[in-house]
Structure 1
Amino acid sequence: MIEKTELNSGWTLTCNDTGRTGLPDAIAATVPGCVNLDLLANRLIADPYVDVNEITNDWIGKTDWTYRCTFEATREDGRVQELVFDGLDTIATIVLNGEEIGRSFNMHRIYRFDVSGLLKTGENELSVTFRSAYAYGAEMEKQYGYRPNNYPGPGNLMRKMACNFGWDWGPTLVTAGIWKPVRLESWDRARLAETRVSATLAGGDGLVKVHARLARHGDAGPCRLVAEIGGVTTTAAIAPGEDMVALEITLPSPQLWWPHHLGAQPLYPLILKLIDEVSGDQLDSFERELGFRSLRLDTAADAHGSAFTFVINDVPLFIAGANWIPDDCFPSRVTAEHYAARIEEAKSANIHMLRVWGGGIFETDEFYEACDRIGMLVWQDFLFACAAYPEEEPLRSEVEAEVRDNVVRLMPHASLVLWNGNNENIWGFDEWGWRPIIKAGESWGLGYYLDLLPRLCCEFDPDRPYYPGSPYSGSMEIAPNADAHGCKHIWDVWNDVGYEVYRNYIPRFCSEFGWQAPANWATIEESVHDQPLTPQSNGVFHHQKATQGNDKLIRGLIGHLPEPKSMEDWHFATQLNQARAIRFAIEHLRSHRDICKGAVVWQFNDCWPVTSWAALDSAGRRKPLWYALKSAYDPRLLTIQPRGDGLAAVAVNERTLFWRAKIAGKRLKLDGSVLAEFEFWRLLCDRFEAKEFPLPSDIVIPGLPKDEVVVVEMLDRRAFHYFVEDIDLNLEAPRLAVDVTGMDGGYAVRVTADNFLKDLCLMADRLDPDAVVDSMLVTLLPGEGHVFAVRTAKAIVAEDITVGTVLRSANDLVAGN
């Protein structure tokens, strides 16, 4: 059996810049980790997430560093002894007992070095020296020539997390280090060098396919591979000298694995054992939990162009998704528990797909395991984003090695439903001015997306779809960001115009669209100490990485909300506008479910405290956008949309049962008096359908637009329509009553409205930084009430629920302006 010894303790770190003073000769280091975290833990740098400290850290990525440790071992003749690094970031030279054993050039792959001849019985010395990514990038630019890159740094010239070098939501914190575990492995005869496992359906049965490649040592004799799942066992013989084996297992009538909004997620443990046929010894093993589901991506031509529809267990889905970025600039400190909590937050927001974006990393096993357990679909980008990439050596071989490593590692996961070639690179070449920069015959990545990646996916993981890019229209003959084909990104709305322009688009699938807002108030206070806090104060402004981001926040309010006059109003107005913009877009896209089959909002999470497009800020606090997603992605949605010259109530049903209920509506004055009403018995919306109900003319034609609202109800779902934007709506200052009563884990805060209250929010972090509220963006008619459930360990009373600070609404922003 393989013996494994973890080498994750006893490390020290040394700065190799002799001109750098003030650092100890040896700094205590944590493995897995990175240089930046070690310096931070030893109080040798200021926290780069606080104030403008980021800029004082630039020297770290421009410096060479060495990690060292000693470890005890026993040299074992007749056995293979290997050092295994699960992740090295990035350009490294590895030395054992004074001898170089290898070099790394890729953050995204595993490195294995045979040290059988170098290992000593007793104490061994191991060092890993990391070269500056900037210095290596400068060398590579001389070799490859310039390639366009939308962001600073040489991330497109090496295989390193691209957003390390800065993005429009992330800081420039260039890391180096042993970012994943390292160990010494000892084995004899044979081991499983590569194990490819897929789980699919064959009719009503589960089909497991296993392809294994063996590494052998010496005169290894015959072996057998034994596979067991769900009480079914299969064995394959492996003759001496053979290093490949394949087997299949049929599991009768397994329970199906579903995304969480449709069903359960049964997982079946697969156990593989490599057995020596002569001695009966177990030489190696492999275990994974498998889920059984069918999967295809429908891209067939149709009356609207060509589809982009995920079909799981023969059900065409509308995807309720969000983009996922690295959850920390220093990924080694993201734990399994952290992943599970974040993914649970996505599920609670009615998200059932996370797109792992191509400027970050292939996430750790714990991420995908949590998605398997919870029923969260995963769209996985290959790691190419917003840049042109050379296809020459040595980069090409590194790409091939990392793809092989990660496809084989991740392919057993039921949650993983797509390999995507790149993020925005085909679009960039086509529309961002790259063509005249890239010389004739020069590579820029297309060969990866249309040739290398699909070939490798077909070889290793043929049961899972591959798509060349996002956005991409399915053919280089069609503009890559066309509405009628493939997947689309919508960014002109945030960058150039108002969010009402989302209605100009009905794409087949929208894999990116987003709107910015600052982090929650408590998160800002924890990370910025400006006195006073203003949108333009040094720290707040530094934590806004988008070009003209603050200007776009204000421009986005025009025509919707008044320009804020205070920091607190700026904070709430921009958060509210973000929530409304994305809710507006999603409801529009979902109302056209027959054409559009998915919305993947940019973005779900943050990697540091920042003004960004995220729904959950870096502290894990829910922004108002999180609540807007929960509402807009509700499997049963009721929305009011323009249709022709009128309005229609649109019921959208993603549940497995039909939705049949009375639909009723009113046109009201804001004081609650009824001007017109209707009732229809009954509206029937079948499962996986959007059903339109045209509203009567006396409902859709207002008398006094500034003083009227349309309210439509269907069971417990409610939709509103306004004839003018808030800036022109006769919203009065809020008049309300607050009552607070204790409940398990916190308090029930009941708010009763005396006048019309629009998008009422309880900002729980203003009560307690750790508090969480269950609901937000609640609109109340005069006399109506709503109970906010607040989880907190802090004692609160009604007087703490202050209007204008803790309780916010559009009324606050509009009344008196």
Structure 2
Amino acid sequence: MTVIPLTDDWTVTATSGPAPENVAHRAIPARVPGSVHLDLRRAGLIDEPFDGANETEQQWIGDVDWRFETSFEWHDDGSERRELVADGLDTIATITLNGVEVGRTQNQHRSYRLDIGSALAEGRNELRIDFAAPVPAAHARSAMHGERFHVNHHPYNAMRKMASSFGWDWGIDVAAAGIWKSIRVETWSTARIASVRPLVDVDGTTGIVDAHIEIERADGLKAAPVCVELAIAGQVYKVDVAGTRAHARIEVPDAQLWWPRGHGEQPLYDLEVRLKGGSPHAELDAWRRRIGFRTVRVDIAADEHGSPFAVHINDRLVQIRGANWIPDHAFISEVDRDRYRRRIADATEANMNLLRVWGGGIYEADDFYELCDEQGLLVWQDFLLACAAYAEEEWLATEIEAEAREAITRLSSHPSLAIWCGNNENIVGYAEWGWRKELNGKTWGEGYYRRLLPGLIAELDPTRFYAAGSPYSFSSFISPNLDTHGTVHIWDVWNEKDYTHYREWKPRFVAEFGFQGPPAWTTLVESVHDAPMDPYGEQMLVHQKANNGNVKLERGYGPHLPEPKTIEDWHWATQLNQAAALRYGISYFRSLAPYNTGTIVWQLNDDWPVISWAAVDFAERRKPLWHALKAVYAPRFATVQPSGDGIAVTLLNDTEHAWSGDVVVRRLTFAGEVLAEERILGAVDARGNTALALPEPVATAGDPTREVLVVDAPGFARAVHDFAEVKEQALESSPLEATAERDGDTVRVRVVARAYARDITMLADRGHPNAKVDSGLVTLLPGEEHRFVVSGAPADADPQRFAAPDVLRHAGDLSA
């Protein structure tokens, strides 16, 4: 096989539509893979899309037809087949080679292999790809085929393009065009490997690979037999193939099992598939991946409470501590393996064991899944159908089936991928959000979720679990969002209610829930330039996509925190409240184990600088929420929760070792005086939990505004229970003594508490834009100390800056 990469010497031209004079019909250097926005920015023809209010000013880009062109040299090497292979075209495209149309595409989520044999010429070749303007195309298709419900302002459900590229309640509207994955010319003879599906199982100590190989022939079935060789764990298997399909069942004795993180190691086995044939007998093609041996089972069987959603890997229940994942950049070609690696580290270092790839984005690059394989991070993968009704007629159904087949096949080698999900919120939308009446009999997607997609999973990869949707109760006869059954999404909290209402729910598994907060201060002010800065400034609201988002932020902190006096206080209060909300909710949900088997917070990451639900902002700065998640997702976790007429300490032990020891519970004044103390013997099984009722002397405050409950148990992080909200507490506004000094490449800040200090957090980027801190949301009793370690600050940065009051913040300073 000969491969000619087509990465160089591209241009892009606006051929029709409302392009400015300085752009229209001008050939602009283009980068492939890429996007037209990025090309225009590099050429100095538009300002930074993420800055200020530029999103509004650049909406014309999505209304323009764009032409990408390049040329390449080709010389006949005698190959029987000559093909143009495009791994990703965004989206409606007509491909022309040397003036001959060779193909049309209409799906960003699939690849294309086009026969160019009759159009290819000896020597120089001219390749042109014309992309139709996506925004008018989406509206035209919606009008043609019947409008159907969708969130946001463009009918993304009328075409197979990344839904969130049209904007979301956290995302910028940058729908445009581009060659977003690799493109190349391939020439080959005899046969090639079209796909490999290595489905794994475990039988006792034996690992089993059911390898399904699809072969494409250069000359139909007239070609001579070929040989497929498979190699794994030092063993080689050969299969002679006369047709286009091969199957091999391979047994690997004493196979090491792949486990999710926290349950074991992640051994990966190299699987190589080589295709040989022709004369002489030569290698025609090869395929290589790493696989892991494990089984997946999700228990949804009815029980006395309803029905669970309990994930079992290798027949062991895994308590899920996860986050939802969105595309990590609005221009997805900008995400490389290193950026994926950093985001995966954000998840694992916060004690997560699962990421849910949300259905309004993309099937991520192989790098994402490979890194999850390595790190033991389970993946729940949505099919790309989100928050909308989708037509089931042939014009769309054929594309959805084609992309699903390709995605299932491509991702089948990854042990991290455990769950496929038919859609995000579409079933509950039809059942409970009024879609049914509005649709008036039009198709809406049910056939995909209940027939097409489960059928494809059964055909192509029955080793994984399929859920028709999220949320879903695994029944057609009850609410899809019933907390006693299956998975739920909790959005009355944030949209309508205070976070204390999380306790109104008793969910079996929470697949979505969250609370907003702004990005780091530096991230915010690098993109928002209102003067003066204001929560309701023009540019601030461009970077707040949620409906009445800043109103909800204020309503959210109102019951808990003093009213901020400055924009800096508003920023700190809303970040702190976001962290407090999720800490509160997850602590409660985890205390319900094993009735509750998991939480997947919305969301881990951002795709541009924005006020959102993310724990890590677009500039890769970890928000206070991230530190809260790290704490509440700890494998061993202690939390104080209501119990009957009193309160109890719940100890969760998601490790393989049982625990026993003294649990010391103290009720103290903010000055450190011990008012009551109890020592309780506790014991928790491996992967278990227990609740210890607290005696009234420690459980009941004499003065809730000046007292705190503290729980210490060896092997568990301290649990702190505040008897009152911050706004009601008599917290000192300056309870800390802080000193800072340079220590090699780091700055170390020592903090000593003179009085009770709640949620001490270093906003490290305010000390220096490049700085990062190792810990956050630290609570200290009088006389206790903590050392923050700051990295990333250059040698000339003033260490004392990191001890300054606007950098080193705590809950009490909001009352100052």
Q: Please indicate the TM-score interval, normalised by the length of the shorter structure.
A: over 0.9
1:632-661 CA deviation, whole Å, 9 max, x = no partner?
000110110001111111110111111222
Pairs within 5 Å for 1:430-445: 430-440=431-441, 442-445=442-445
Instruction: Name the counterpart of 1:9.
Output: 8
Gaps of 5+ in 2: none
- How many Å apart are 1:247 and its aligned residue? 0.4
- How many Å apart are 1:351 and its aligned residue? 1.2
- How many Å apart are 1:797 and its aligned residue? 5.0
Instruction: Name the counterpart of 1:701.
Output: 700
State the identity %: 46
| TM-aligned CA distance change 1:94 to 1:84, over 3 Å | same
- 1:486 match: secondary structure: coil
CA distance in 2, matches of 1:44, 1:798: 41
CA distance in 1, matches of 2:181, 2:802: 46
- 1:22 match: secondary structure: coil
CA distance in 2, matches of 1:194, 1:395: 24
| TM-aligned CA distance change 1:545 to 1:459, over 3 Å | same
CA distance in 1, matches of 2:704, 2:754: 21
CA distance in 2, matches of 1:35, 1:333: 12
Pairs within 5 Å for 1:412-561: 412-440=413-441, 442-561=442-561
Instruction: Name the counterpart of 2:227.
Output: 224
Asked whether the 8 Å contact 1:232–1:249 carries over to 2, the reply is no
Instruction: Name the counterpart of 2:736.
Output: 736
1:746-804 CA deviation, whole Å, 9 max, x = no partner?
02211001111000011110111111111111111111100111112324556323453
Q: Which amino acid aligns with 2:611?
A: T
- The alignment's TM-score, normalised by the length of structure 1, stands at 0.98
- The alignment's TM-score, normalised by the length of structure 2, stands at 0.98
- 2:435 match: secondary structure: coil
Pairs within 5 Å for 1:118-129: 118-129=119-130
| Higher mean C-alpha displacement, 800-809 vs 88-97 | 800-809
- How many Å apart are 1:86 and its aligned residue? 0.1
- How many Å apart are 1:745 and its aligned residue? 2.7
CA distance in 2, matches of 1:384, 1:434: 15
- 2:141 match: secondary structure: helix
Q: Which amino acid aligns with 1:492?
A: D
- How many Å apart are 1:739 and its aligned residue? 2.1
Gaps of 5+ in 1: none
Instruction: Name the counterpart of 1:396.
Output: 397
- How many Å apart are 1:278 and its aligned residue? 5.6
Instruction: Name the counterpart of 1:264.
Output: 265
CA distance in 1, matches of 2:67, 2:82: 23
Instruction: Name the counterpart of 2:587.
Output: 587
| Higher mean C-alpha displacement, 627-636 vs 345-354 | 345-354
Instruction: Name the counterpart of 2:359.
Output: 358
- 1:36 match: secondary structure: helix
Instruction: Name the counterpart of 1:52.
Output: 53
Q: Which amino acid aligns with 1:543?
A: H
Instruction: Name the counterpart of 1:679.
Output: 679
- How many Å apart are 1:261 and its aligned residue? 2.0
- 1:257 match: secondary structure: coil
1:61-98 CA deviation, whole Å, 9 max, x = no partner?
01100000000002344510100000000000000110
1:433-484 CA deviation, whole Å, 9 max, x = no partner?
11111112x2100110000000011101110111000001001111000001
CA distance in 1, matches of 2:456, 2:628: 39
Asked whether the 8 Å contact 1:421–1:469 carries over to 2, the reply is yes
| Higher mean C-alpha displacement, 621-630 vs 554-563 | 554-563
CA distance in 1, matches of 2:744, 2:275: 52
Asked whether the 8 Å contact 1:210–1:247 carries over to 2, the reply is yes
- 2:405 match: secondary structure: helix
CA distance in 2, matches of 1:113, 1:771: 49
Instruction: Name the counterpart of 1:691.
Output: 690
CA distance in 2, matches of 1:756, 1:147: 55
1:226-254 CA deviation, whole Å, 9 max, x = no partner?
10111122111112xx1111001111112
Instruction: Name the counterpart of 1:135.
Output: 136
CA distance in 1, matches of 2:557, 2:155: 36
Asked whether the 8 Å contact 1:275–1:282 carries over to 2, the reply is yes
| Higher mean C-alpha displacement, 564-573 vs 192-201 | 192-201
Q: Which amino acid aligns with 1:179?
A: W
1:589-644 CA deviation, whole Å, 9 max, x = no partner?
11111211010000000000000000000000000000000000001101100011
Asked whether the 8 Å contact 1:222–1:278 carries over to 2, the reply is no
Q: Which amino acid aligns with 2:635?
A: P
- 1:343 match: secondary structure: helix
CA distance in 2, matches of 1:746, 1:377: 33
Q: Which amino acid aligns with 1:546?
A: A
1:491-540 CA deviation, whole Å, 9 max, x = no partner?
00111111000111121100000000001001012112222211112211
| Higher mean C-alpha displacement, 738-747 vs 476-485 | 738-747
CA distance in 1, matches of 2:238, 2:79: 28
Instruction: Name the counterpart of 1:173.
Output: 174
Q: Which amino acid aligns with 1:481?
A: N
CA distance in 2, matches of 1:475, 1:424: 15
| TM-aligned CA distance change 1:798 to 1:182, over 3 Å | closer
CA distance in 2, matches of 1:277, 1:526: 60
CA distance in 1, matches of 2:804, 2:428: 47
Number of matched pairs: 810
Instruction: Name the counterpart of 1:41.
Output: 42
| TM-aligned CA distance change 1:19 to 1:341, over 3 Å | closer
Q: Does 1:96 align with 2:97?
A: yes
Instruction: Name the counterpart of 1:29.
Output: 30
CA distance in 1, matches of 2:201, 2:341: 25
Q: Which amino acid aligns with 1:697?
A: E
| Higher mean C-alpha displacement, 607-616 vs 2-11 | 2-11
Asked whether the 8 Å contact 1:224–1:277 carries over to 2, the reply is no
CA distance in 1, matches of 2:571, 2:69: 47
Asked whether the 8 Å contact 1:233–1:249 carries over to 2, the reply is no
CA distance in 1, matches of 2:384, 2:198: 22
Q: Which amino acid aligns with 2:683?
A: L
Instruction: Name the counterpart of 1:752.
Output: 752
CA distance in 1, matches of 2:513, 2:593: 17
Q: Which amino acid aligns with 1:699?
A: V
Q: Which amino acid aligns with 2:687?
A: F
| Higher mean C-alpha displacement, 722-731 vs 796-805 | 796-805
Instruction: Name the counterpart of 1:766.
Output: 766
- 1:68 match: secondary structure: strand
CA distance in 2, matches of 1:299, 1:210: 29
CA distance in 1, matches of 2:671, 2:730: 10
CA distance in 2, matches of 1:168, 1:151: 8
CA distance in 1, matches of 2:485, 2:237: 44
- 2:73 match: secondary structure: strand
Pairs within 5 Å for 1:224-303: 224-239=227-242, 242-276=243-277, 279-303=280-304
- 1:800 match: secondary structure: helix
Asked whether the 8 Å contact 2:228–2:241 carries over to 1, the reply is yes
Pairs within 5 Å for 1:363-374: 363-374=364-375
Instruction: Name the counterpart of 1:793.
Output: 793
| Higher mean C-alpha displacement, 283-292 vs 715-724 | 715-724
- How many Å apart are 1:200 and its aligned residue? 2.4
CA distance in 1, matches of 2:737, 2:556: 32
Asked whether the 8 Å contact 2:35–2:178 carries over to 1, the reply is yes
Asked whether the 8 Å contact 1:592–1:690 carries over to 2, the reply is no
